[in-house]
Amino acid sequence: MQEWEQKMDKNQEEFNKQLKIREETINKLTSEKKNEPKPVKIVKDMFKSFTGNNCHFVPEKHDRIVCDSCYKCPIIGDRYKCLSRHGYDLCNDCYQIMNKTEPFLLFKTPSTISHDRLEDILPYVQILIREINEGKIKIIYND
């Protein structure tokens, strides 16, 4: 019985040592954190180092969309969708250097409509845009 009590005492001592080390570590970490800037500020400062002062601009990524000129995938930044060619998308760089004779949709952010679904409804979008240009339909913006 005495041997068992000795083992228990030894275990209790070891447990107390570990507990003390844990508490000291927690106290040390929390005291160091009080002097550190808040995480949001750290992220903003880090982001400013990459972008200068324009910390509000982050180029969007259009997943699973391939530029049909340079074959870049995904398209990062502005995406241009041709209204007259089925499934024809361009990145901003390729759009800027091309001869612009066809109408394009400009996507600043990824569309909430899937790429495949957009291809399905594109003929209706083309009709709608044509009728807007012909004056048959007018978009009214209410304040």
Between 117 and 71, residue with greater pLDDT: 71
pLDDT over 70 at 68, yes or no? yes
Average confidence (pLDDT) over 87-112: 90
Tell me, what's the pLDDT at 70?
Answer: 95
Tell me, what's the pLDDT at 95?
Answer: 95
CB 18 within 8 A of CB 25: no
- Please give the share of the chain, as a percent, with pLDDT higher than 90: 24
Average confidence (pLDDT) over 94-103: 90
pLDDT over 60 at 124, yes or no? yes
The b-or-e profile of 63-74 (16+ CB within 10 A means b, else e) is eebbbeeeeeee
* pTM (two decimals): 0.54
What the block records as the tokens of 34 is 């009080």
Bridge partners, residue 81, by sequence: 89, 105
DSSP 8-state class, residue 65: -
What is the residue extent of each domain of the chain? Answer: 2-51, 61-133
Tell me, what's the pLDDT at 55?
Answer: 45
Give the model's confidence band at 91: pLDDT under 50 very low, under 70 low, under 90 confident, else very high. Answer: very high
Q: Mind listing the pLDDT tens digit for each residue in 8-49? A: 777 778 777 877 877 777 777 666 555 555 555 555 555 554
DSSP string of 92-117, one letter each residue: HHHHHHS---S-EEEESS--SS-HHH
Tell me, what's the pLDDT at 51?
Answer: 47
Between 59 and 134, residue with greater pLDDT: 134
- CA triplet 130, 131, 135: central angle to 5 degrees? 120
